[in-house]
């Protein structure tokens, strides 16, 4: 277990619910994902188009900045690489995830590609519950869990890194749990 548990973390069987804003009520038929280029081109998916994208099962450990880690979490979602494949333009080096409710977080594109990130709509075999980010959340398990934005509605590509909600409030710009990058 020591090799799976980053420094300063403890293992839990629970799945604590922590949010920067109230949980939005998002029926699937009104959910939409917009992907935006840095020059303001946009590509949008409704729930049906998102569900038609290739999905993948993922079993991974997750680590929260508040020091809990949960092992062997089971997700299903669209690999970020497959989402990029439908874009009609090349992506920039950084992504800002925008969420229903106003939350944002920044992630380098290199941390989203090559099988490192998903847009998850299922947890533990069930549709992703709203308190855990449903209908769709970003899943970037190798970074602290605040980078796995809940209720994602827009992914905006950027040529330069820009801090998101927690990063503007003193959290680390990157958030690697193995280097304990909790705060700036």
- Supply the pTM of this predicted model: 0.95
- Asked if residue 36 belongs to a domain, the reply is no
Would you state the pLDDT for residue 2?
53
- Asked if residue 154 belongs to a domain, the reply is yes
Which of 124, 173, 136 has the alpha carbon at shortest distance from 27?
A: 136
Reading phi first (left if > 0) and then psi (alpha if -120 to 50, else beta), residue 40 is in: left
- Asked if residue 57 belongs to a domain, the reply is yes
Cα→Cα distances 90→17, 118, 123, 153, Å: 35, 19, 30, 20
Looking at the 3D structure of the chain, how many domains does it have?
Answer: 1
- Asked if residue 29 belongs to a domain, the reply is no
- Contact of 75 with 125, CB cutoff 8 Å: no
Is-cis flag, bond preceding 6, omega within 30?
A: no
Give the helix ranges, DSSP H, for the chain.
Answer: 47-52, 80-85, 165-168
Interatomic CA distance for residues 54 and 64, integer angstroms: 28
Would you state the pLDDT for residue 16?
80
- Asked if residue 20 belongs to a domain, the reply is no
- Asked if residue 103 belongs to a domain, the reply is yes
The parent domain of residue 120 ranges over 46-179
- Asked if residue 54 belongs to a domain, the reply is yes
pLDDT, tens digit only, all 184 positions of the chain: 558 999 999 999 998 887 877 888 889 999 999 999 999 999 999 999 999 999 999 999 999 999 999 999 999 999 999 999 989 888 999 999 999 999 999 999 999 999 999 999 999 999 999 999 999 999 999 999 999 999 999 999 999 999 999 999 999 999 999 999 999 8
Residue 93 structure tokens: 């080096």
What CATH code is carried by the domain that includes residue 173? 3.90.420.10
The C-alpha angle 174, 179, 184, rounded to 5 degrees, equals 45
Would you state the pLDDT for residue 69?
97
Taking the CB of residue 51, how many other CB atoms lie within 10 A of it? 13
Taking the CB of residue 56, how many other CB atoms lie within 10 A of it? 14
- Asked if residue 163 belongs to a domain, the reply is yes
Query: What is the Cα gyration radius of the chain?
Result: 15
């Amino acid at each position: 277990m020591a090799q799976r548990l980053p420094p300063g973390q403890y293992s839990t069987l629970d799945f604590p619910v922590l949010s920067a804003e109230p949980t939005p009520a998002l029926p699937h038929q009104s959910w939409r994902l917009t992907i935006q280029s840095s020059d303001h081109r946009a590509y949008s998916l409704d729930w049906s188009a998102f569900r038609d994208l290739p999905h993948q099962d993922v079993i991974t450990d997750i680590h929260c900045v508040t020091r809990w880690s949960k092992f062997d979490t089971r997700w299903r979602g669209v690999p970020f690489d497959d989402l990029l494949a439908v874009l009609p333009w090349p992506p920039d080096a950084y992504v800002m995830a925008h969420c229903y409710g106003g939350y944002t977080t920044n992630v380098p594109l290199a941390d989203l590609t090559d099988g490192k990130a998903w847009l998850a709509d299922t947890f533990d075999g069930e549709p992703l519950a709203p308190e855990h980010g449903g209908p769709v959340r970003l899943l970037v398990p190798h970074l602290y869990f605040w980078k796995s934005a809940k209720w994602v509605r827009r992914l905006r590509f950027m040529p330069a890194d820009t801090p998101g909600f927690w990063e503007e409030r003193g959290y680390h710009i990157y958030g690697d749990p193995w280097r304990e990058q909790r705060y700036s």
